[in-house]
Chain A
Amino acid sequence: MSTGNRLLAVLPGEVYDKLTPYLEEVWLERGTILHHPGEPIENLYFPLDCLLSITITMKDGSTAEAGMVGNREVCGINAIMGARETTQTEYIVQIAGSAIKVPARPLLEEFDRSKKLRDVLLSSTQALIAQISQTTACNSLHVLEQRLARWLLEAQDRIDSDDLKLTQEFISHMLGVRRAGVTQAAQKLQDRDLIEYNRGRVKVLDQQGLEATSCECFMTLREEYDRLLGTKDRDG
């Protein structure tokens, strides 16, 4: 079984062995809702090469992304906290791919027993809080072009692919902006040969150029994740 998820990769062998009977590799289709607001969290997902979003939907139907979950996170971390249900967030698959599914109960039991597992999952929670905090500030302070560049880099880093199957309408929901804004920001990035957009696919052509266009938030978060979870091998 693949340990392409960064959290599973840093688990000590004895902890991983205890969880192994409960780990199941699953394929997640785009658009699948893994968790509805208010429901208990029955399973957690460690993405391998899929991209998940934690979203919030307002009463008028408008949606925005509150957090992004990929191969350096786990989806459903609330399951190990006091209350197993979330009140306002939904978990949805944004880019199809594989994940390791684990039922909440055995993971919670092992969480209570193993300090090493607690350390990893609490560090991951701290990293997720860092992501949400940085994104909140970024959305308030930085221009759309910078935010789009950051968002694409974050997505790319979480699925380890330059090829992102994402529509501009979807990205506009995730960034909480109008579709026209994403269309023009993407056009500007494309004119500079940083990305190529074609029929629901974004291809990152120049990662360094995109990093230079992005605000500081991408590098700040990358450093924080590396500090909390160990440096990611980016040479492969």
Chain B
Amino acid sequence: MSQEKALPTILLIELDDDTRPLLKHNLRSQGYRVIEALEEEDAIILAGTEKGRPDLILLNQVKLSIDEFLHMGRRIRQTAKLLSSTPVVVTAERFGADLEGKNIKVGENDYVAYLEDGQQLMNLLHRLLLEAITSQQIKHLTD
């Protein structure tokens, strides 16, 4: 367990039954620990526990708007008392070719990813988790 917790942890909110097992598998194969929730309330409870504390919150847009998912991610981060530097990433569902392949920063630590392929998401998560964990380590050293 302690070894598993040492892995970078992603809190995944993915409502689509087809996508969820595939995304979980792909994240785990990249070496991440994945905790999942289907609702905001559950996500807050999970993220608030020592065991479930995520290093990044990943939400996949389904039905609701991108803004609603961004707000959901921010509320989870705030209500579960996570570090404000914990990144929130929303992957967009429908978009034009002009946005494809772009990761757009929409807040201090919040991003919307317009995926061209799965590797784009893995690259973004890798970069953000590296930055987030480095920032946490620096904070621990200076506290």
Cβ of B119: which chain A residues have Cβ within 8 Å of it?
187, 190
Does A113 interact with chain B (Cβ within 8 Å)? no
Residues of A within 8 A of B29 (CB): 191
Q: Is A188 a contact of B16 with CB atoms below 8 Å?
A: no
Measured CB to CB, the closest approach of chain B to A184, in angstroms, equals 4
Q: Are A178 and B19 in contact (CB under 8 A)?
A: yes
User: Which range contains the number of B residues in contact with the other chain?
Assistant: 20 to 34
Interface status of A131 (Cβ within 8 A of chain B): no
- Report yes or no: A199 in contact with B21, Cβ–Cβ below 8 A: no
A145 touches B117 (CB 8 A): no
Whether A183 touches B115, Cβ cut-off 8 Å, given contacts A143-B21, A188-B22, A188-B25, is yes
**Within the complex, which residue of A177, A183, A199 is in contact with B118, where a contact is CB–CB below 8 Å?**
A183
What 1/0 mask marks residues of chain A from 164 to 198 whose CB sits below 8 Å from any chain B CB? 00001000000001111101111110110000011
* Least CB distance, B101 to chain A, in whole angstroms: 8
A198 to B22, CA, bound (A): 19
CB-contact partner of B116 in A143, A185, A188, A199, under 8 A: A199
Contact with B along A206-228 (1 / 0, CB 8 A): 00000000000000000000000
| Cβ-defined partner of B26 (8 Å) among A177, A179, A184, A197 | A184
Q: Interface majority SS on A: helix, strand, loop or mixed?
A: helix
A145–B26 Cα distance when bound, in Å, is: 12
Instruction: Judge whether A179 and B117 touch: CB under 8 Å.
Output: no
The reply to whether A188 and B91 form a contact with Cβ atoms under 8 Å apart is: no
CB pair A180–B26 under 8 Å, yes or no, is no
- Cβ–Cβ contact B117 & A197, under 8 A: yes
Chain A residues at the B interface, C-beta cutoff of 8 Å: 143-145, 168, 177-181, 183-188, 190-191, 197-199
Known: A145-B22, A181-B19, A183-B121. 11 other contacts (CB 8 A): A177-B18, A179-B94, A180-B19, A186-B117, A187-B119, A187-B122, A188-B25, A188-B26, A190-B117, A190-B118, A191-B29
